[in-house]
Structure 1
Amino acid sequence: MSVIIALIALAGHIALLLWGTRMVQTGIQRAFGPSLRSFLGHTLSNRLKAFAAGMGVTAVLQSSTATGLMATGFAAGGLVDLVPALAVMLGANVGSTLIVQVLSFNVAAASPALILIGVLMFRRVQNPQVHDLGRVFIGIGFMLLALDQLLDVLGEYADTPGFETVLNAISKAPTLSLLLAAALTWAAHSSVAVVLLIMSLASQGLLDPYQAFALTLGANLGTAINPVVEGQSGADLAARRVPIGNLLTRIVGILIALVFLEQITGAMTALDGNGGRMVANFHTGFNLIVALVFMPVLTPFANALVRYMPHRIDESDPGNPRYLDPSAKETPIVALQAAAREVLRLVDILEGMLAGTKKGLNSSDRQALSALRNQDTVLDRLNTAVKYYLTSIDPDELSDADKQRLEEILIFSTGLEHAGDVLDQNVLPHLAKRLRRGLKFSKPAKRELDDLFDRLSANLRTAAALFMSQDERMARMLAEEKVIFRRSEREGTKAHFERLRQGDLASAESSSLHLDLLRDLKQINSHLVAATAYPVLEQQGELLQSRITARS
């Protein structure tokens, strides 16, 4: 019976430790997640900065998995090179050991104060960031409380037969212990919690240093598995280079450490006799040494990962760029042509969205509307890929004409993405509203909307041709289309108000929806004109700075 009570108490305190760790991680991510992601993205220019950034971000987030997923996302999207992304992971591994170092000292007395402060911040303050920081304080308090209670339970039941049986099994099979700790860390999603548990056992003398170090190596293995499992899915192994590279560095380090574990144990025991401190020092030392060994060889290591995990384009995913060849960036004129060709894919997608939206004027198919909204995500992804591809070209390699063309491509790509946003955020919700309320357009209104959709599709094709030709006459022709959309909006507004004056409330709601759509289509057309016609006309000195006539 005593064994059952001990196991329940032990499980409860471990659960509190895991929950406290989880609260710290989620609180920090909610309070500073976007800022930390932005900070990480801006420091990936070289391996040393990347290492320091990975260590700092992970020390704050308390999750090497979260840092790993960020770095993986940057590398998979082509935003950073593989070498600094791998350096981030080496830094993250060291950063995750820092909280262990702090908690290896006797700071349990601060637990009640931390929980009290955290609860006051969590419940009384309306500021979202302070609210989330309150969650962090509560989590740290729970962690300290759980560790203190764990020590009491382990000390009270250390001599029971059940504990002795489990610990003897661990001591006889260090490799099995390593795998057990790896599985537990992977399941708990926290190497910090598992290493703290190992520290508690070691500090009570329930694990000798050799056993504790073997289990700590397992925790290091388990935490490297999470980014591999939770990273970007799909057949393209290139998206998994960073987490797999990190896992390989851990495996190499663990294998070498296992070979010399007895000698390491003797050296660590001579430095510090406290079991908990020995585990913390071993945990930090292991990750530091792995980082020092791999940092100088990251370039050949990254090259090997690229060789054996080549990038394969998934043709079934329209959001994957097809023409943005990284090697073409060495020849800017080729890279610019590749980017222009990729942008024409955005034209095709937007044209398909316009055609589908036109069908949705009379359709009752809600799934078709959802599919159209997914196309906007494709536009966003391609636009982002084009922007980062172009901005990664060395500006010193660009002539003045190249710089101008690069700007034209960026403006057109952004304009297409904005036009897609208007469809996604304005037009499609209006069509969904029509379905929910059972509204029907009058025949004249339906005919007018059909004509404007057709004209908008034609203008989109004209904008694509202008993007490639930069012809001044075509730019004038496209700019003049704004007059037609402006007139349609003005006449639609007058007709809507006239219905209201006549008391025709039955058609007022559909008339209001018709007017909203006219404004949205006018805005989409304005994005197309601003992205193509205006730059050409401005370059030729044919664009007025204001529509207001100058006073004489």
Structure 2
Amino acid sequence: MVHASTLSETVFKSNQSKGKEEGASITWGIENDLLQKILTIYPQTKYVLKYNTKIGKKQNKSNPEKSPWITEDDISINKVSYKIKELSGGESYVYKIGVDTGEKIIWAKEGKFTAERTWGIFKLLILIGALGMFIFGMKIMSEGLQQAAGSRLRNMLGSITSNRIKGVFTGFGITSVVQSSSVTTVMTVSFVNAGLMTLRQSAGVMMGANIGTTITAWLILLFGFKVSLDSYAFIFIAFGAPLLFFSKGKVKVWANVIIGFSLLFMGLGALKDAVPTLGPDSAIVQFFVDFKDVWYGPVMFVLLGALVTVVIQSSSAAMALTMTLVGGGVIPFEVAAAMILGENIGTTITAELASLIGNVHAKRSARIHSLFNVIGVTWALLLFPYILKGISLFINGDPYTDGSAANTGLAVFHTAFNSMNVILLLPFVPKLVSLAERTVKSKGAADEEFHLDYIGTGMMGTPDLSILEAKKEVAKFGRITSRMSLFNQQLLTEQNSKVKTKLYRKIKKYEEITDRVEVEVANYLAKVSKGEMTEDTAKKVRSMNSIVNDLERIGDIFYQISKSIERKEELKAWFLPVQRASLLRMFKLIDNAFEIMCENLDADWDGVSLEAAKEAEDLINTKRNKMKEEYLSNLNDKDFNLESGMIFSNLFSLCEKAGDHIINVSEAVVGEI
């Protein structure tokens, strides 16, 4: 016999709740035999549900009328669930479910839930934040992998020969390692800018990077959707965080890789939760459905994908967002595939932006990347319906109705498209290079100056012939270095702060160029030295090594001069007119020495005379001695500004050192090293 007085909360075998958008779903369970016994005695038995906010529950204890419990007291005994609607999104609630026999209400243990917010500005910000965490994690992981790989990635990229297939594999390998096609393309553009890689070589690398970036889609699919690594992210961080306290740099780098990897998937998990759950009749879903079948629909969604990628500056993040929207049923499979094509175009903006500060060759390299992707998307759009049908044959499930199958289809589509595009366009690399050269016009010598025009990563048939090309490159190197003197002279007289800032940047850029050119010429000469050489050729190789070393030192000195002038500006230590005029006369003597040096570099080295170069050096030394005497005599003047005087002394000393290296170049030309 079951009596109401003998029943307790243990009558309920289950009691669960789940928050929904501005609502909740409550489920419960009572053993069927027990329920039948209760109904036999109390046939009018029904369920009662009451709920309140957490804050309201506390207020209700002190003042029941202020925050009353909301009660649903007529729930059929045949039900095992109940949906609560019209709650405050983001609010935490408590509830009780009970059995009302008529004599007594037997309450289950109190439960709680949090009502989710409806899609609006708050959830939009959460989505943007989740996307930001994904990008930040990708950035930290990518940078950590680059540092962990060290210089090997650059050596790998720099060792590419004219074999474009090897370039494809190199681009694929680097992108697969660092998980960022942008890193590979920007690195490639910088190599082209420095003259360390030709346009044809860069084309192969760009193509390989496009295939390498498809690895990201598979990682997102396998670890973001299939396994959901965000559940284990804190465990990964628990292993990675202690590595931050190690003194060895490599260990710390791997800590960044692990933590970045964890943040990436935490962001992806939050992204999945932030995407709105929309029904098939919602306005957004209907918009995509309505336009997916019209002839211009794919083109429109390609542009949408490109726009998304340009805005968030990460094709990986755009891919993650697209796959999340497909998984949530917000966009159809066809729309997502078109957006992925657009993301391939949008990612080219990174290389284009990187090339803006480079020379014409860097701009052409970025243009090749853009042309490659645009041409690929064009043929893919023409065959779009057939490609999608082909993809659906290779995956389990229907990508048009199943979100999981759709995401697998997107990963397959991304890989297949980029691989096919490389196979189709690889034979046409010379045509792409020619098209890039026609579409990006040179602005003259200033635009070409940072490119190694006469030597590349390969060399000519014999060392004796190769040395002639190296000589031309060394002569050009001398002219580039001489321009730094003019920039510093402008700094001494320029009053406009914006112009000064540009000059400081330009001098810094030229100093970096001298470093890169020295390394490349030295590497080239090292290759030349491996062949059979005449004594005269061996002598010229030694001379050129000495010359590029001196020219690089001149670049360093002029950069130091610019920093001294910058420090003078910061200290507000002004030169007297006589000091400025004296320095400008010293620079004119330096320019004269540069002119003689460049003439010697351009001439037939066997017929060069050192007489003019030594005279120029003597004039620089004499001027330095005179300026030093003036400086020392001014120290006794009580009105003399010591700070500006010290900078003045440093500047003419650095000029004299530059003069020493200039004469060293001419001496190396005639073999006096």
TM-score, normalising length from structure 1?
0.75
Q: Is the 8 A contact 1:62 1:96 kept in 2?
A: yes
Alignment of 1:273-352 (within 5 A): 274-275=404-405, 276-295=407-426, 297=427, 300-306=428-434, 309-310=437-438, 312-315=441-444, 317=446, 320=449, 324=453, 332=466, 335-336=469-470, 338-339=472-473, 342-343=476-477, 345-346=479-480, 349-350=483-484, 352=486
Residue 113, structure 1, aligned to residue 242, structure 2: no
Q: Is the 8 A contact 1:72 1:243 kept in 2?
A: no
Cα distance change, pair 70–257 in 1 and its aligned pair in 2 (3 A)? farther
User: Cα deviation per residue 1:382-401 (whole Å; 9 max; x = unaligned)?
Assistant: 78568757966983698664
How far is 1:487 from its partner? 8.2
SS at match of 1:268: coil
Deviates more, 1:66-75 or 1:227-236: 227-236
Q: Counterpart of 1:141?
A: 262
Q: Is the 8 A contact 1:54 1:91 kept in 2?
A: yes
SS at match of 2:160: coil
How far is 1:260 from its partner? 1.3
How far is 1:238 from its partner? 3.1
Cα distance change, pair 347–217 in 1 and its aligned pair in 2 (3 A)? closer
Cα distance change, pair 510–239 in 1 and its aligned pair in 2 (3 A)? same
Residue 55, structure 1, aligned to residue 185, structure 2: no
Amino acid at match of 1:101: W
Q: Counterpart of 1:191?
A: 315
Q: Counterpart of 2:185?
A: 68
Q: Is the 8 A contact 1:241 1:306 kept in 2?
A: no
Q: Is the 8 A contact 2:550 2:661 kept in 1?
A: yes
Residue 79, structure 1, aligned to residue 196, structure 2: yes
Q: Counterpart of 1:531?
A: 665
How far is 1:267 from its partner? 0.7
Q: Distance in 2 between matches of 1:312 and 1:383?
A: 27
Amino acid at match of 2:433: L
Q: Is the 8 A contact 1:182 1:223 kept in 2?
A: yes
Q: Distance in 2 between matches of 1:350 and 1:493?
A: 24
Cα distance change, pair 9–61 in 1 and its aligned pair in 2 (3 A)? farther
User: Cα deviation per residue 1:261-310 (whole Å; 9 max; x = unaligned)?
Assistant: 34314313448984233322332233233334444x1xx33235315634
Q: Is the 8 A contact 1:25 1:136 kept in 2?
A: no
Q: Is the 8 A contact 1:22 1:139 kept in 2?
A: no
Q: Distance in 1 between matches of 2:309 and 2:179?
A: 14
Residue 91 (structure 1) aligned to one of 187, 200, 208: 208
Residue 247 (structure 1) aligned to one of 352, 364, 373: 373
Q: Is the 8 A contact 1:232 1:240 kept in 2?
A: no
Q: Is the 8 A contact 1:459 1:525 kept in 2?
A: yes
SS at match of 2:169: helix
Q: Which has the higher contact order (CA 8 A, sep 6+)?
A: 1
Amino acid at match of 2:561: N
Amino acid at match of 2:282: P
Q: Is the 8 A contact 1:181 1:218 kept in 2?
A: yes
Deviates more, 1:38-47 or 1:405-414: 405-414
How far is 1:163 from its partner? 5.2
Q: Distance in 1 between matches of 2:565 and 2:345?
A: 51
How far is 1:226 from its partner? 4.5
Amino acid at match of 2:290: A
How far is 1:76 from its partner? 4.8
Q: Counterpart of 1:264?
A: 390
Q: Which has the larger radius of gyration?
A: 2
Cα distance change, pair 476–63 in 1 and its aligned pair in 2 (3 A)? same
Cα distance change, pair 68–535 in 1 and its aligned pair in 2 (3 A)? same
Residue 154 (structure 2) aligned to one of 21, 35, 38: 38
User: Cα deviation per residue 1:497-533 (whole Å; 9 max; x = unaligned)?
Assistant: 8987x79584644543343234212311221122222
Q: Counterpart of 1:20?
A: 133
Cα distance change, pair 522–255 in 1 and its aligned pair in 2 (3 A)? same
Deviates more, 1:265-274 or 1:512-521: 265-274
Residue 161, structure 1, aligned to residue 282, structure 2: yes
Q: Distance in 1 between matches of 2:480 and 2:359?
A: 24
Deviates more, 1:411-420 or 1:487-496: 487-496
Q: Distance in 2 between matches of 1:397 and 1:78?
A: 26
Q: Distance in 2 between matches of 1:58 and 1:264?
A: 27
Deviates more, 1:377-386 or 1:415-424: 377-386
Residue 365, structure 1, aligned to residue 491, structure 2: no
Deviates more, 1:334-343 or 1:17-26: 334-343
Residue 6, structure 1, aligned to residue 128, structure 2: no
Q: Distance in 1 between matches of 2:315 and 2:466?
A: 45
Q: Is the 8 A contact 1:16 1:142 kept in 2?
A: no
Q: Distance in 1 between matches of 2:183 and 2:524?
A: 25
Deviates more, 1:102-111 or 1:144-153: 144-153
How far is 1:63 from its partner? 2.5
Amino acid at match of 1:302: P
Q: Is the 8 A contact 1:463 1:532 kept in 2?
A: yes
Tell me the matched-pair count. Answer: 529
Residue 554 (structure 2) aligned to one of 419, 427, 452: 419
How far is 1:258 from its partner? 0.6
Cα distance change, pair 14–220 in 1 and its aligned pair in 2 (3 A)? farther
**What is the identity percentage for the equivalent residue pairs of Structure 1 and Structure 2?**
16
Residue 221 (structure 2) aligned to one of 88, 104, 115: 104
Deviates more, 1:76-85 or 1:389-398: 389-398
Cα distance change, pair 293–469 in 1 and its aligned pair in 2 (3 A)? closer
Residue 216 (structure 1) aligned to one of 340, 355, 371: 340
How far is 1:166 from its partner? 4.1
Q: Is the 8 A contact 2:454 2:473 kept in 1?
A: no
Deviates more, 1:376-385 or 1:519-528: 376-385
Alignment of 1:473-552 (within 5 A): 474-475=609-610, 478=613, 506=640, 508-534=642-668, 536=670, 538=672
Q: Counterpart of 2:356?
A: 232
Gaps of 5+ in 1: 540-552
SS at match of 2:446: coil
Amino acid at match of 1:324: D
How far is 1:364 from its partner? 7.1
Q: Is the 8 A contact 1:118 1:137 kept in 2?
A: yes
Q: Is the 8 A contact 2:137 2:263 kept in 1?
A: no
Q: Is the 8 A contact 1:426 1:520 kept in 2?
A: yes
Cα distance change, pair 41–399 in 1 and its aligned pair in 2 (3 A)? farther
Q: Is the 8 A contact 2:214 2:414 kept in 1?
A: yes
Q: Counterpart of 1:549?
A: none
Q: Is the 8 A contact 2:133 2:263 kept in 1?
A: yes
How far is 1:28 from its partner? 4.3
SS at match of 1:44: coil
TM-score, normalising length from structure 2?
0.63
Deviates more, 1:124-133 or 1:191-200: 124-133
The structure with the largest strand share of the pair is 2
Q: Is the 8 A contact 2:160 2:167 kept in 1?
A: yes
Q: Is the 8 A contact 1:10 1:153 kept in 2?
A: yes
Amino acid at match of 2:384: L
